[in-house]
Amino acid sequence: MFDFLLSEEEKALKAEARRFAKEDVPSSLIRDMDGERVRFPKEFLQKAASRNLLGLRFSPVWGGRGAKWAGEVAALEEIGVLGSSLSCLYSLVSIVGEALHLFGTEEQKETYLKPTLQGKLCCAEALTEPRGGSDFFGATTLARRDGNDYILNGQKRFVVGAEGADYFLVYARTAEDAPAHQSISAFLVDRDSGVEVKHVYGLLGSRGGGTGRIYFRDVRVPGDHRIGPEHGGALVFNRMMVPERLTTAAASLGMARSCLEIAARVRTHLELGAHGLSRAQSRLRWPQGRRADGARGADQRRVQPRLEIHDRGPGLRRRPGRSSLQGDHREAQSR
């Protein structure tokens, strides 16, 4: 995100997230996750919580910072450089937390949201089903009323963070004969209530993120664990899709930036060889009188000279028909 879009407070938050990603997350963790030696990096979430970097938009009453969307997006871009697995786990707090923050009772926030932001509990979102895929309203998982409780039966797949989650936000059909948008309810389901979790292995791009499939076989869910009105899961879902999409987009920016930086370093290394940039520059001379005008703004002009090779050394290549380095020298200036 461009810094001019951010307030000073948001710039500071972005810098804080960058320091966390750079200094507190070892590269060995990412390698171990990709090699499936680590299935769920709980310590990553705990470290983020210790820096008060989880659930940034939520009220300080529950452990957040009361940040605006711009601040959270800026922070998530920095977390995104760590890859999709860690950024997804980081985002889950914002996504599941959205349902709790907007639709949860005070007791639910105290029991689930607050300890999640403190790193004491881990959450996961259970949406996708084997037959429904991305068709959320085609869910077949059922929650049948039994007194004040619900009996949950069904299964969910591709649940990020399933292996380490202490509780799940689950959508299930509570009115079988009603229209799709009026038939689903949202529940907080504790892992130790009888939920069966199975590992999903070798998931490209998400290794080490604890992605799994979960099964509900007559799992009893207390009535006060429902979030929002009965049959009102569509309301919760639609609001959750806001952080779902924005956090994914923000983290993708960070991943893309990281890829570009790595590609640029590799290209520079290949073009300049083992001599390094300083030695290569000593072999260049600046032609007199040659200037190419470029513009950075309506009132600013920059000079973009072409570099000629004075003495071609190893690692420097000439493009056919050009006397310049095979690279990008837009930042060179002549005054």
| 197 & 301 share domain | no
271 domain residue, yes or no: no
Tokens of 100: 């709790």
Domain boundary among 164, 198, 233: 233
**What does the DSSP assignment read for 29-65?**
HHHHHHTTS-S--HHHHHHHHHTT-SSTTS-GGGT--
266 domain residue, yes or no: no
* CA dist., res. 64 & res. 43, Å (int): 19
Which CATH number characterizes residue 78's domain? 1.10.540.10
30 domain residue, yes or no: yes
Q: Is 321 left (phi over 0), alpha (psi -120 to 50) or beta?
A: left
| 73 & 141 share domain | no
268 domain residue, yes or no: no
* CA dist., res. 47 & res. 53, Å (int): 9
* CA dist., res. 209 & res. 163, Å (int): 8
273 domain residue, yes or no: no
| 316 & 175 share domain | no
| 199 & 181 share domain | yes
Query: How many folded domains does the chain comprise?
Result: 3
| 20 & 169 share domain | no
| 116 & 131 share domain | no
274 domain residue, yes or no: no
Return the percent helix, strand and coil in the chain, to nearest 5.
Answer: 45, 20, 35
Strand, helix or coil at 218? strand
> For residue 38, what are the domain limits?
3-121+239-259
| 23 & 38 share domain | yes
At a CB cut-off of 8 Å and minimum separation 6, what does 15 contact? none
| 247 & 214 share domain | no
325 domain residue, yes or no: yes
| 91 & 157 share domain | no
Measured from the Cβ of residue 174, the count of other Cβ atoms closer than 10 Å reads 22
* CA dist., res. 199 & res. 216, Å (int): 15
| 156 & 305 share domain | no
| 12 & 83 share domain | yes
Task: Please identify every stretch of the chain with a pLDDT value under 70, giving residue numbers as ranges.
Answer: 1, 132-134, 272-335
What's the whole-number average pLDDT of the chain?
Answer: 83
pLDDT of residue 334: 39
pLDDT of residue 76: 96
DSSP label at residue 230: T
57 domain residue, yes or no: yes
Tokens of 85: 């697995």
pLDDT of residue 268: 82
* CA dist., res. 65 & res. 72, Å (int): 10
pTM for this entry: 0.78
| 106 & 165 share domain | no
Strands 149-159 and 184-190: unpaired
